[in-house]
Amino acid sequence: MRATSRKWRSRSFHAADRIAAARAHAEERELAAARRVASVGERLAEAEAAAHGLKAEVDQLRKQLADQQQLARERQSAAEATRQMAASISAERQRFRKIGQHFRMVAGRYFRLHTPETWDEFDREIFRTYQSVRASTPTTNGRTKR
């Protein structure tokens, strides 16, 4: 009986040791799992913070893009207005040249036909204008008439 009792007691102690070892092992695994969860949580928090920062940067870049697109539209509009004004100025310049040519022809004929002694003050004013226009008009070789 004593041998059986010792046998069962020995088994009981071994079983208690195995149970304690299993509990210690389980606690270690639980701690390791808790550390992994905490680590994953920290990485998740870092990733969320980085994502928030990147979202703010994306929002800022979108605003800059919208501003740049607005500026491009304004530049394009200004360029179109400039082209239209240039075309208008060119047409006016052509018209002015033609009027200048006609003025020089008519005035030249008028003053060739009338002697300076017959001119009144209005004729003298027109003659001064004629001389000024004639002097500032370039010839075909680029020089002005005198």
The reply to whether 136 falls in a domain is no
Is residue 63, in this structure, part of any structural domain at all?
Answer: yes
d(CA 93, CA 142): 17
Residue 22 burial (10 A CB sphere; 0-12, 13-18, 19+): exposed
Between CA 103 and CA 81 the distance in angstroms is 32
- Structure confidence by residue, pLDDT tens digits, 58-115: 999 999 999 999 999 999 999 999 999 999 999 898 998 898 888 888 888 888 888 8
Residue 83: inside a domain: yes
Query: Scanning the structure block, which residue is given the tokens 């179109």?
Result: 80
Report pLDDT digits (tens) over 27-55.
999 999 888 888 888 989 899 999 999 99
pLDDT grade for 146, boundaries at 50, 70 and 90 = very low
- Is 139 among the domain residues? no
Q: Which domain holds residue 76?
A: 2-113
Residue 50 falls within a domain, yes or no?
Answer: yes
On whether residue 142 sits in a domain, the answer given is no
Instruction: Report the distance separating Cα 127 and Cα 18, nearest Å.
Output: 129
Contact 58, 51 (CB under 8 A): no
Burial 61-78 (b: 16+ CB within 10 A, else e): eeeeeeeeeeeeeeeeee
The count of domains in the chain is: 1
Q: Name the residue with tokens 């808790």.
A: 34
